[in-house]
Structure formats: structure tokens, C-alpha cells
Amino acid sequence: MSDPAPYQEACMNDADCSGQPQSDIDPQETSEWLDSLDYVLEQHGIERATYLFERLRDRLGERGAQVSHSINTPYVNTLPVSQQPPYPGNLELERRIRSLIRWNAMAMVVKANQQRPGIGGHISTFASAATLYEVALHHFLRGKDSPQGGDQVYFQGHAAPGIYARSFVEGRLPEEALHRFRAELNSDGRGLSSYPHPWLLPDYWEFPTVSMGLGPILSIYQARFNHYLQDRGLKDTNQQRVWAFIGDGETDEPESLGALSLAARERLDNLIWVVNCNLQRLDGPVRGNGKIIQELEAIFRGAGWHVIKVIWGSDWDALLSKDDEGLLVKRMGEVVDGWYQKYVVEGGAFARQHFFGADPRLLKLVENYSDEQIHKMLRGGHDPRKLYTAYKAAVEHTGQPTVILAKTIKGYGLGEAGEGRNISHQQKKLNEQELREFRTRFSVPVPDAHLTSTPFYRPPTDSPEAAYLEERIKIMGGPIPARRVTVEPLTTPALDRFKEFLEGSGERSVSSTMGFARMLSRLLGMKDIGKYLVPIIPDEGRTFGLEAFFRQYGIYSHIGQLYEPVDKSSLLHYFEAKNGQILEEGITEAGAMSSYIAAGTSYATHGINMIPFYIFYSMFGFQRIGDLMWAACDMRARGFLLGATAGRTTLEGEGLQHQDGQSHLLASAYPTIAAYDPAFMFELAVILQDGLKKMYQDQQDVSYYITLYNESYQMPTMPPNVEEGIREGVYRFRPAPDRAKHRAHLLASGPLVNEAVRAQSLLLRYGVAADVWSVTSYKQLRMRTLETERWNLLHPESAPRVSFLQQTVEQFDGPCVAVSDYVRLVPQQIAPWIPGGLLTLGTDGFGRSDTRKALRRFFEVDAEHLAVATLYTLSRRGSVAANLVMQATRDLGVSPDGEAPWHR
């Protein structure tokens, strides 16, 4: 095969692309400069040489030269052999242990697909990453019993079979568990989930990572939250580290790299990323025409991270030491990843011809190497010595987060079955010959007679391997992964401590957002729980009326405040502090949600009941970061999600992109989210108190989603005996003031309760006495009723149970109409249980920039439309004549013409 055209990288990937003339007008002088540099390196070391280089570059800049700052280093290991420490472990025993884990991981997936064809699973990811994990687990990752405190480890999701296999070899998991990989439902709860899921294996996995990109961003905010706990004096986390093992293809996800600068700004030297650069994603190369390691190096260095590249294994050291002219390093740098992948597949002869054959002097370097030797020359990510060197440097580095870019081979060890091939990610089965080659390559003690059954193999308890594993696990502080919940419940405030909010606002008009701000202030001031609260704001504090908290509680910054704010003379000036309590995240809902997750799971990760209050534009919650919210549910996060400026017609002026009419519909699909839509301060107080008790006193794994509004109106006093209804989802807020010929029931939530009250008065003109019901949670009503119906279905011989909703609707003595500031599907959640059916009005369609009054008329959810809709339901029952409905449309200015709002 002919050699490709010489590869030219972009300047960001080529240390020689300086924009300066490349011809050397005085080679002798150049040689003298280089000799001087070599002298400094030999006599005084790298630090001195680097210092001199930086001073020379500064001087050039001072003289007006356009000095380029290369953000790439040559395509070799960052740490040379001279900086490689002795390996502290038993390399041979670790190799044998690693080989057994490889075998069991492969056997688990193969066996699952033999027994249940098509069930899936992944072999190749762990095959590429086994050494990355094993060196870290033997020597760096600290378990929960470590005196320094356990590390938090984000495992690459597709590598889960390898992590299960290690737990089996350790003796943590029984063989039966491996037989039940991806067979959870027929396993009495003892099956193994496909990927890391704390909801499914709550004593094992800590972090769900297989939704690409979430593990990386979560790890950054977890590391920052560890500093937060330390800086606020809540827990000593100084020796705890956060490790994230991610794939190179995963870095294409915006969440993966979007928060890199935060880690650098906050100096998160407790954070280490290990990027498994196996050069392949699911369908093909990550960067076939480029070099993913060089690309990532530039990105991370530009963001302020410490970068360690582990590209070449020890087999390459001798060749590099002979590369006096730099030809080998040059060739390494000019070959693109697509060719490196092909070298793995085509073998040593091809690599000799194509890689080394580019220059006769390179061929000379390997003239004594066989083709097989060339083919088996390790990449850095498969060499324990190189990885140990990188890990040790990472944990010792201070002042910056560290990323290790480790080059590996996807499907390493699978041979013809998938090593380095584009199909590798989908490989689920191996034939007998492929199994035999795998067994032989890794010296697994499985006889030929048993090969086709792919038996699991655990070393005997008295074997050197078992003894070594047991010793290392003990030294490192216990097995990983492990999730423990040992937190003590908090005593949460009783409802009477919210007394002022139960009594209403009198003549003063306030919004529910303002009411929440006052309640949050009250909670922060409570000595028993105030210090555990974590207010989280994505750069909207002033919008939500929370700016008073800036000065009183401080905005958290690991480095404090290095400047005087422009509003220093103001009482409410912007105040950053190392012990600040508020997490002001800037314009990043994903980052703020990651902080919520770190705080909301601290009861498990740190044994502390932290109480996050994340307040955000409701439109930019579930719709924008629903994947992170799903992960929070999986992680059993606890806390309060406050969707402010809510409601498609209540948020006036902002228009189509900001007006939320669907968050409660989206929230209905999240299993651990309790969703509430309060209209009044007393409702909000009851819900907050209930949430605090359930999550932090009763220790229930739920989160509360509560919508808040910026419409101000007088807040009434709480009616008697409505607390249960508020918690359960519905109560009668205002009975009909007078008797009338006809009866009806109006359901509403949020500010539209006020429209229902107005409609109540309008209906009296037409002889209709309507009760107004405040629905605080359609989701709660629906789910509790579904639970009741399911129990009844499965227990037909027992007396049927009746849900709170079913008890309530027994009081309905007329038609029922619901109005919502959300799409109609939100109130329709309870339609099956409403006698005579439920007519719903909602805000289906795109929002508009206008006033609340105009918006409610446009979406047909104002009092006038609600009154007409109620009369219509009565006419359908034959209670009133149709001409009365038409008369009402004329009286109330409701137009029967025009397209529906969702078409406009």
C-alpha cells in the first residue's frame, strides 16, 4: 500500500506551526542554542530550563515579537522514563488478576447473549480500559473505610461488566449474580443492571454515567462541592479525590467539556480525569482524520488543566532513546488516528511498511524487530508502569485539576473478534476459536473442554492472587464501587414555625416567589438546619428577589473575593467568600443542576444531610436539562427544585422561549419527583414543611419540584383543615358563596386559582353556584389513585381501597372544569376518575410577548372562558339551554371564531 500524502495538522496540533519562517538562516547558531539548552537540562533539570524558556519568550514579547504559545506538546508521553518511579506492586500477580477479570467480564456478556440472544452488553470498552482501572484500584482509589475518606469514582458506563467481574474475583459478588447480568426482573432483585445505576443497585453504584457527558460534568461539580464542604467547615474533605473515567468519544457531548474552566478557576486539584483514548466510538473512529489526544490536550491546556499524556508503552522507550534526530517523534505526530487504528488490525508487517517505512532511518530502528514484536508493542494505556507514573504525578499535582489522556486499543485482546475494529463496540459473542485465543493470550486456567460454556473463574481463596487482592483492598480502604447511607435523620421544623406565612399577606400583594424568598430566609436562619441549606442560583438571583442573600450569606468561591465589587457601597453588594453559602453558578442550568445533585446526594457520598434549593426559570428546567434531572432521580437525590417565573400566561412580556407551559407535564414522568403548583404562600409553606420532613427526617429518596410565580396578589389566610388536601393534591379553597339552580366545580392551580374565583362570580349571573378547588399536585393525585387501583386489581377478594382523589370527587354534585397555566394534559391526568368527565382548559401552543390579561384571553384560560366552558358542560348534561352558552359568549366577550391557540 502506498504511503498517504504527508499529514499536515492544524497549528493547534503542531508545535512547529508558529507562523514564523521555517528556514534556518544560521544552523550553527541554532545548534549552539540547542546545545546550551541541553546543558541546562543535564545540569539543572527541567524546571530551570522551563524557567529560562519562559523568560526568553517574555523578552521576545516585550520587544514586540508575535510569540506563539503552543498548546500542544509532541505526540509522546508527558513524563519521560527518567521521571518514572519504581512500580510498588507485584506486576506479575496484578497481570494475572487483570487477566481473570478480563475473562470474567467477557464471559458475562457472552453467556448473557447465549442464554438471551440480543440482550446486549459491552466487551470492548472494558477490554481497552482494564489496565486503567486495575492500576488505579490497586494503588490510588480509596474506599469508604480509608482514614482520608473514600474517593468518589465515576466509572465509564460501558465498562460496567469489568467492574462487576472484579467484584466477583474479589468475592463480593456471587457467581449467580454474574449469571443474572441484564436479567434483573427474574432475579428476585439480585440481578446486575446493564450500567451503573444507584436506583437499581443502591449499595453498589454511586453515580450513573452511561448517558454520555453526564459523568464528566457531574464529577467537576462534585469536586467543587467537596471543596465547598471543606471551606464551610462542614466536613474535612481535604484528602478525598474525585476520579472520572470517560471515553474519548464521549468528549463530543457538550456537557463533557462545557465546565472545564470552572474546574481550573476553582483550582480543583482534587479532581482527576482519565480519558480512555481508544480512538473509537460506537460506529467508527473518534477522529479518523485527526488526533483526538492532541485535540483534547489543546482544549484542556487552554482551559487551565494539568495534562498528562500516556501514549506509548515501555516497549517504545528503547526506540525513542535512539531517536537522536527526532524522526520517530515527528512520524508519531504526523500519522492520523485512522492509520493507528489500522495498524492494530493489519498487524506488524503493515505497520513496518506504512509507519516505519516512511523513512529509511526509521526502518533502521526496527530492523531487529520481528513483525510480531512490532504488532505487540504496547500503547501507554495498557502499560501498568506508565499508568502508575501518570497517576502518581496526578495525585501529587496541586493547584489545578489533572486530565490523563491514555491511548488504548478498543477491544484489546479480542483479536479477530474485534480488536481495534469498527464493529468492536457491538461485539457480544465469541466463537470457540476466538475464545481459545483470548484464553491463551491472557493465560486463563480454563481447559479446552469447558471453553464453549465460557465458565466464570475465581481464584481459590488460598491462591496468591486472592491474597494479594485482599491485601490491596484492605490497604486502600475497602472495595470500590460502594454506596453507603449512614446519615442520621434531621429534626425538621414543624408547620407552626411557618406561622407568618399561614396567616396571609393582609392588604399587601406579593408573589409566590417573594413568599419563597422570605421562607428561605427564615429557614437559613434556623440554627438546627440553616447551615445545611444550599441555595443554588444560575445567575438569576436578582430576578427572583434573592439579592439580599448575597451579602448576608455570601456567594461561595474557593479563592474568596480578589476584587472590590462596583456596588460595594450598597447594602446588598455582590459578596464572594470562601465560606459563602450560596452557589451562584452563572448562566449554566446544567452546572447548577450538577451542584444540586452533588448536594442532594451528600447524605450518601459524605454522610451529611445537605438541603439544596435550586431556583431557576421553570422553562429551563426539565425541558433543558431533563437528562440530568433523570440522573438525579437515579442517584436518589433529595432536595427542592424551584421552577420560578412559571406559567405560560403568568410570565408576561418574555414570550415564546421563556413562557413555561409544560414543566409539570414533563415532571409527571420522573418517578421520584413530587411535583407541586401552589397558588398561595400557605400552600407553599405546607409543601416545604412536608418536603423537609419526608426527605430529611423520614429519609425518603424523593425531590420536590415546586413552581413559583412573579404575579403579585393578596395572599389569603389558610382555611381550616386543608393541610392534608394541600399535601395530597387538592382541597376546596372557596365554596360557592350562594345557592343557585345549578352546581359546578372549578379546578385550578397557581395564579389561575384567582381566575377561577373570578369565574365563580361570573357564573352566579347565570344561576350557577361553583366551588373553587385548588389543585396543588395533579401528579400526586394521579399516582396515588393509580396505586390504589393497582392494589384493588391484584386483590379482588378484599374490600376495595379508595384514594384521596376518589374520596374527594364523591363531593362533586355537578360538572367539573379544570383550568391550568400549563398544557391540557396536566389536569387531564385525573380525568378518568372525575364523575361525568373533566373538561380542561390549558395553554397549549407557543407563548407571546404581552400582558397577563392579553395572554390569558389568547390562550382561553381567563375567567370569561372558564365561565363559558362551565356553562357548556351544563348544556351537554341538559341542565341549561345551548342559547344560554351563546348569550354568555356575547356577554363576556368570548369570540367563537378564529383558530385554536396551538395553531397560531
Confidence of residue 60 (pLDDT cuts 50, 70, 90): confident
The Cα angle at residue 12 between residues 8 and 17, in degrees rounded to 5: 60
Q: What is the structure's pLDDT at 428?
A: 61
pLDDT at 544 over 70: yes
Q: What is the structure's pLDDT at 199?
A: 97
Render pLDDT for 89-127 as a digit per residue (tens, 0 to 9).
999 999 999 999 999 999 999 999 988 999 988 888 999
Confidence of residue 15 (pLDDT cuts 50, 70, 90): very low
Phi-psi region of 171 (alpha: psi -120 to 50; beta: other; left: phi over 0): left
Contact indicator for 870, 762 with CB cutoff of 8 Å:
no
Question: Could you please report the per-residue DSSP string of 821-865?
Answer: SS-TTTGGGGGGGSTT-EEEE---S---SS-HHHHHHHTT-SHHH
Confidence of residue 542 (pLDDT cuts 50, 70, 90): confident
Render pLDDT for 173-190 as a digit per residue (tens, 0 to 9).
999 999 999 999 976 767
Q: What is the structure's pLDDT at 141?
A: 98
3-state secondary structure of 309: strand
Q: What is the structure's pLDDT at 190?
A: 77
Render pLDDT for 229-264 as a digit per residue (tens, 0 to 9).
999 999 999 999 999 999 999 999 999 999 999 999
Q: What is the structure's pLDDT at 420?
A: 66
| Residue type at 215 in one-letter notation | G
Contact indicator for 818, 794 with CB cutoff of 8 Å:
no
3-state secondary structure of 247: strand
pLDDT at 866 over 50: yes
Share of the chain above pLDDT 70, in %: 96
pLDDT at 775 over 80: yes
Q: At what angle do helices 124-139 and 160-170 cross, to 10 degrees?
A: 50
Q: What is the structure's pLDDT at 780?
A: 98
Contact indicator for 188, 176 with CB cutoff of 8 Å:
no
Q: What is the structure's pLDDT at 1?
A: 41
Confidence of residue 411 (pLDDT cuts 50, 70, 90): confident
The mean pLDDT of 265-282, rounded to a whole number, is 95
Asked if omega into 27 is within 30° of 0 (cis), the reply is: no
Residue 368 among known ligand-binding residues: no
pLDDT at 7 over 50: no
Q: What is the structure's pLDDT at 413?
A: 82
Spatial separation of the C-alpha atoms in residues 230 and 267, rounded to whole Å: 14
- Cell numbers of 833, please? 376518575
The mean pLDDT of 129-141, rounded to a whole number, is 98
pLDDT at 641 over 80: yes
Q: Return the residue matching grid coordinates 413530587.
A: 674
Q: What is the structure's pLDDT at 18?
A: 36
Q: At what angle do helices 863-876 and 882-892 cross, to 10 degrees?
A: 170
Render pLDDT for 568-603 as a digit per residue (tens, 0 to 9).
888 788 999 999 999 999 999 999 999 999 999 999
The mean pLDDT of 348-359, rounded to a whole number, is 96
Share of the chain above pLDDT 90, in %: 84
Residue 248 among known ligand-binding residues: yes
3-state secondary structure of 191: coil
Q: What is the structure's pLDDT at 639?
A: 98
Q: What are 495's strand-pairing partners? A: none
Q: Return the residue matching grid coordinates 443542576.
A: 593
Q: Model pTM?
A: 0.93
Task: Please name each of the domains of the chain with its CATH number.
Answer: 91-313+378-476 (3.40.50.970), 495-714 (3.40.50.970), 732-903 (3.40.50.920)
Spatial separation of the C-alpha atoms in residues 484 and 205, rounded to whole Å: 10
Q: What is the structure's pLDDT at 3?
A: 45
Spatial separation of the C-alpha atoms in residues 731 and 721, rounded to whole Å: 9
- Count of positions (residues) in the chain: 904
The mean pLDDT of 867-892, rounded to a whole number, is 97
pLDDT at 382 over 70: yes
Confidence of residue 791 (pLDDT cuts 50, 70, 90): very high
Strand order in the sheet with 639-644: 583-584, 533-537, 611-617, 639-644, 703-707, 673-676
What 467-472 contacts at long range (C-beta under 8 Å, 24+ apart), as own/partner pairs, is 468/90, 468/93, 468/94, 468/97, 469/97, 469/169, 469/170, 472/89, 472/137, 472/138, 472/139
pLDDT at 17 over 80: no
Render pLDDT for 714-742 as a digit per residue (tens, 0 to 9).
999 999 999 999 999 999 999 998 889 99
Spatial separation of the C-alpha atoms in residues 585 and 556, rounded to whole Å: 10
- Average pLDDT of the chain, as a whole number: 93
pLDDT at 5 over 90: no
Helix (H) or strand (E) holding 641: strand 639-644
Q: Where are the beta strands (DSSP E) in 87-183?
A: 152-154
Confidence of residue 209 (pLDDT cuts 50, 70, 90): very high
Which residue intervals of 180-310 are DSSP H helices?
A: 214-231, 254-257, 260-265, 292-303
pLDDT at 539 over 90: no
The mean pLDDT of 275-280, rounded to a whole number, is 96
pLDDT at 427 over 70: no
Q: What is the structure's pLDDT at 423?
A: 59
Spatial separation of the C-alpha atoms in residues 584 and 562, rounded to whole Å: 16
Comparing CA positions, the residue from 542, 684, 705 lying closest to residue 612 is 705
